[in-house]
Amino acid sequence: MTKTAAIIGGGVIGGGWAARFALNGWTVQVFDPDPEAERKIGEVMANARRSLPGLTDVALPDEGEVRFCASIAEAVTGADWIQESVPERLEIKHKTFAEVQAHCAADAVIGSSTSGFKPSQLQQGAARPGQIMVAHPFNPVYLLPLVELVPGDAGDPALIEQAKTLLSGIGMYALHLKKEIDAHVADRFLEAVWREALWLVKDGIATTEEIDNAIRYGFGIRWAQMGLFETYRVAGGEAGMKHFMAQFGPCLSWPWTKLMDVPEFTDELVDLIAGQSDAQSGDLSIRELERVRDNNLVTMMRGLKAQDWGAGALLNQQEVLMRQGTEMGARAADLPADQPVPTARRTVPLDWTDYNGHMTESRYLHAFADATDRFMELIGCDAAYISSGGSYFTAETHIRHLDEVHAGAVITITTRVVLGEGKKMHLFHEMREGDRLLATGEHFLLHVDLETRKPSPPSPQIEANLVRFAQGHAQLPAPDGLGRAIGAPR
- Residues forming the annotated binding site for NAD(+)? 9-14
**Cα–Cα distance for residue pair 202/207, rounded to 1 Å:** 9
Alpha carbon 341 to chain centroid distance?
35
Alpha helices in 334-382 (DSSP H): 361-378
Backbone angles phi, psi at 10, to 5 degrees: -110, 35
Find, among 412, 427, 315, 439, the residue nearest to 378 by Cα: 427
Cα separation of the two ends of the chain: 54
Measure the CA–CA gap between 164 and 175, rounded to whole angstroms: 9
Q: Return the bridge partners of 341, or none.
A: 415
∠ at Cα 17 (77, 60), nearest 5°?
100
- Binding site listing: 9-14
Q: Please enumerate in sequence order all residues whose Cβ is within 8 A of that of 47, keeping only pairs 6 or more positions apart, or say none.
A: 19, 140, 142
Nearest to 121 by CA among 109, 134, 111: 134
Residue 225 phi/psi, 5-degree rounding, is -115, -10
Dist CA 158 CA 150 (whole Å): 14
